Structure 1
Amino acid sequence: MGIWILLIGIGIISMIVQSRFKNKFKKYSEMPLTSGMSGADIAKKMLNDNGIYDVNVISVEGQLTDHYNPSDRTVNLSPEVYHGRSVAAAAVSAHECGHAVQHAKAYTWLQFRSAMVPMVNVASKIVSFTLMIGVMLAIFSNNLFLLQIGVGALAVTTVFSFVTLPVEFDASNRALAWLNTANITHNTEEHDGAKDALKWAAMTYVVAALSALVTLLYYASMLLGRRD
C-alpha cells in the first residue's frame, strides 16, 4: 500500500514538474537575447571556444528534441532552439554542447553512461513484456523466472536513470559557466533565466529517476513476497 502511495505521489509530482518546465521554456523562449545570437551560433561558438572542431551542429524536427549524439558527434537542436535568439535557446544549445565538451574531455560519468547504452537498449525492449507476463505467471502458477528477468531489466534501466543525473547536471554547469564567461548572457536577468530553465529541465530527470526507483521497489517487493 505504501509503495502505491509513492507511485501516485511521484506521478503527480512528475506532471507538475513537466508542466512547470514547459511553462519556463515558453517564458524564456519569449525573452530575447541581448547578443542577438541564434542557438546554432551559440553552439558553434561554445564548441570552438572549447577546441572542438569535429562536432557538427544540426537542426532536427520536433519540439524539445535537442540532444548530443556521441556516436556521430552531432549536436542536434530543435528548430525553435537552432533558429531561436532567446534565453531559452541559448541555455539549451549550450547545455547540449556541454555534453560534447564532456565527451571531448572523457568525463567519467558520460563514459559510464555510454557504456551502459547497449545493455539499456535490450532491457528497455523486454522490461514491459517480462514484467506483465511475469506477474501473471507468478500469480497463477507461482513461476517466478520471467518476473525475475523483468525485475533485472528494470534494475538496469533504473541505474541508467541515476547515472544520467550527474551527466545532466554537469552539462548544465558547464553551459552556465561558459555563457557567463563568453558574455552570451549579458545581464543578470538573462543569466538567471538560463539557470532557471536548465534547473527545471534537470528536475524532469530527477523525477524520472525517482519514479523508476519506486517502480523497481514495487516489483522487487512483489518478487520477494512470492518467494516467501
Structure 2
Amino acid sequence: MKKTKFLAAIGGLGLAALSVFLIAADHIDAPAVAGTSTDITDFYAFQGENPDNLVFVANVQGLLAPGQPTEQAIFDENVLVEFNIDKTNDLVEDELIQAIKRNDSMYFFMPTTNSQTGLTSTINAATQIGVVKISTTTDVQTSTNDDGFKFFAGPREDPFFFDFVQYGEILAGNAPGGFNNPGSDTFAGTNVLSIVVEVPKSKLGSPTPGANPLNPSARLYNAWVEAKRKQ
C-alpha cells in the first residue's frame, strides 16, 4: 500500500485535555506560516456534553472576514492535521487522530502510534475511522461512526478573545496597568476553519496520574495538535 509522507510544518500547540476546558492559541504570531493553510490559530480540548467523551478542536487559517473571504477559504489537501494524545505523562503521543481533506470531505484516521511519533507521519487507509462532508456557511454537516466518534469540518466564528492591540502596548512598555477589563476583542467578527472530533474516553484508555503537579493523583491526558505538509 502506498503511503504519503508528511513533515511537520509547525510545532505543536496546546497542553492537556482533561475534564475541564483548556486552550492554546497562536494567532498571527508565527511568521513562517502566518496566513498559510498550515497556520493553526487555536487548539481546544474539553469534556463533551456527554461526560464520557472528549472533544478536540483545531482551528486554522484565522482572521477570515465574513462573506466572500470565509466562503472561499478551503482546507489544503496537502496538509495533515494531527491530534496527539499522551496518556503516560512522558509527552510522547500514545494515541493519534489524523484529519485530511479529500475533495469535498474531511477524512479521519486513528493509526497505532508506535510508528507515527515525531515530525514525520504517514496515512494508512486501513485506519480510517470516519468521514464528514466539509460544511459551508449555509450547510452544516456532522457525522458519527459506529463507535461513537463524531466529526465536523468547516467555517466557524473565531471563539478566541484577545486584545491584541493592548498586548502590543504591554510589550512596548506603554501599558503599565496591563490589560484593560474587559478589553477589546481583536478577533471579534472573524472566522476560522475548524476541525472537530469528539472521542469516547473508552477509545483512548485511562491515563496515568502525575501530569498535574497541583493534584498528582488526577488522571489527565496531555494533548497537542500539529499541521504537517506533504513532502
- The structure where strand makes up a greater share of residues is 2
Between 1 and 2, higher relative CO (CA 8 Å, sep ≥ 6) is seen in: 2
- The structure where helix makes up a greater share of residues is 1
Normalising by structure 1, what TM-score?
Answer: 0.26
Q: Larger Rg: 1 or 2?
A: 1
